Amino acid sequence: MLPRGARAQGAVLRDAVLATPGPASSVSLIPELAVAIGADRTEGLAVRIKFVSGGGVAIRELLSGNVQFGVFGITAAMNENLRGDSLVALAAVENLALLSLMVRSDLRPVVRRIEDLQGRVLGIHSNSLATMTNGQQFLMLLLRQHKVSTDSVRFVAAGQSWESQSSALRGNAVDALVSEEPFSSRLEQAGLAYRLFSVGQNGESTTLPGVGFLRGTLIARRSIVDAQPDLAQRMVRTLQQTLAWRAAHSPADIVSALGLSGDEGSAFLAMLKGNPTQFSPDGKFSDAQLLQTETFFRESLGNTPESLRYRVGSMLADRWAGHKP
């Protein structure tokens, strides 16, 4: 745990509400850890986490004013900004997108390639006309790369939690789904699904364009940052402290700090051990990674004119988090 700072002692904590898909997901790890280790209170904040079923819902919460911050995929925020430049990225949180396309176990004999998914029911984080999550973008890119038409498959929402994804697979509601660590490992360990395609796992490299894109990012409404820069700065510092704490501690300490146990804890521990570079150590934005992010964003949207015109640099508010090559 972080020592209580002098500023926090006896001071009135300022409320800050943050939405993130979870709980106990890779993208919600850092916010949960920040609360767990008291990094928010060190900065004079009392962060409340509002767990949502996916990045799309998190965006909705941001835009509706229910929350001031969100940690989710930056490409989902970029997609939202195509309709209006309302969101900004404050800090890099998760460097790797540990996404996997998991296929229900009983389909192992018949689904061996991406192309075999034609006619199948595919689970995505959330099924919305208005939003597109990181996992959905990943799935679209994967299908396009393997010449699988989106009209030849059916999409249903499978959520972004262990509960929803496991239930969808157990109930045969989906044939395959996009999952992210540590849920994909748990699904595999539980024998519910097998991994058909993965990115960013254990240094695994694939031919997927923009595969090194920035995943979890601290996002806020631009109006909030403009109106309350002090609050945004404190939130950035909170996450930077948490990222630094995570880099300085062992996976076991992190799992312990989060209070995870059982299968959930084990999966988390495995994820952290297998992917030591998964999280940013300092919250700084990397130019190379942003380039990868733009590539992934354009490819996932089929290089539409809007996506080609959009520059991720236009939504960066990195005066507190910083920048690096």
Partner 1 sequence: MTQAPTVADSRPANQLTLRLLVILLLIFGVVAGCIALVAQAASHNARRQALAEARTYFAARMRELDDAWRADAFTARQEVELWLSDSRSLDDAAIDDRLRVFLTTKLSHSEFASCAIDDGEGNLLFRYGTRSQDVTDIALERRDAGTGWAFSSKDRTVYRVLSGTIRYRRQPARMTLYVPIDNAVLRAMTYPSAHLALVHNGTRVAFTDGSGSTARASGRSPKGQEETADLSLAWGESPVAPVLKIDRDFVAPLSAAELALVMAGGAASFVLIAWLVLGRWIRSQTRRLFLLQRAASEFSSADRQPGDGVRLIDPDVTGGDDIGRLALRLREMMLRLDEGQAQRARASAALAALNASLEERVDARTRDLQAANEALEGSAEVTQSISRQLRQLTREQQAMLDNDLIGIVKVRDRSITWENRAIDRIFGHGSSGLIGKTLAVLHPDEAVDRSVQGAADAAFREGLSFRRQLRMVRHDGTLLWIDASSVLLSSSRVESMWLLADITEMRATQSELEQALFRAESATRAKSAFLANMSHELRTPMNAIIGFADLLHQGRVKIDEAKRHTFLGHIADSGRHLLQLINDVLDLAKAESGKMEFRPESLDLKRLVN
Cβ closer to partner 1: 21 or 200?
21
Q: How far is the CB of 124 from partner 1 (least distance, A)?
A: 10
Residue 94 CA: distances (Å) to CA of 5, 24, 55, 277: 26, 14, 14, 9
Q: How far is the CB of 27 from partner 1 (least distance, A)?
A: 14
Q: How far is the CB of 250 from partner 1 (least distance, A)?
A: 25
Give the β-pairing of 87-92 and 154-157.
Answer: unpaired
Cβ closer to partner 1: 163 or 204?
163
Q: How far is the CB of 56 from partner 1 (least distance, A)?
A: 8
Cβ closer to partner 1: 81 or 161?
161
Cβ closer to partner 1: 132 or 168?
168
Cβ closer to partner 1: 100 or 165?
165
| Dist CA 242 CA 247 (whole Å) | 9
* Residues engaged in binding partner 1 (CB under 8 A): 15-17, 22-23, 48-54, 56-57, 60-61, 64-66, 68, 126-128, 156-159, 163-164, 166-168, 170-171, 173-174, 221, 223-224, 227-228, 231
Q: How far is the CB of 305 from partner 1 (least distance, A)?
A: 29
193 forms beta bridges with: 104
Cβ closer to partner 1: 50 or 323?
50
| Dist CA 232 CA 237 (whole Å) | 9
Q: Which of 208, 187, 209, 182 is nearest to 278 (CA)?
A: 182
Cα 251 to chain centroid distance, Å, stands at: 19
Q: How far is the CB of 281 from partner 1 (least distance, A)?
A: 28
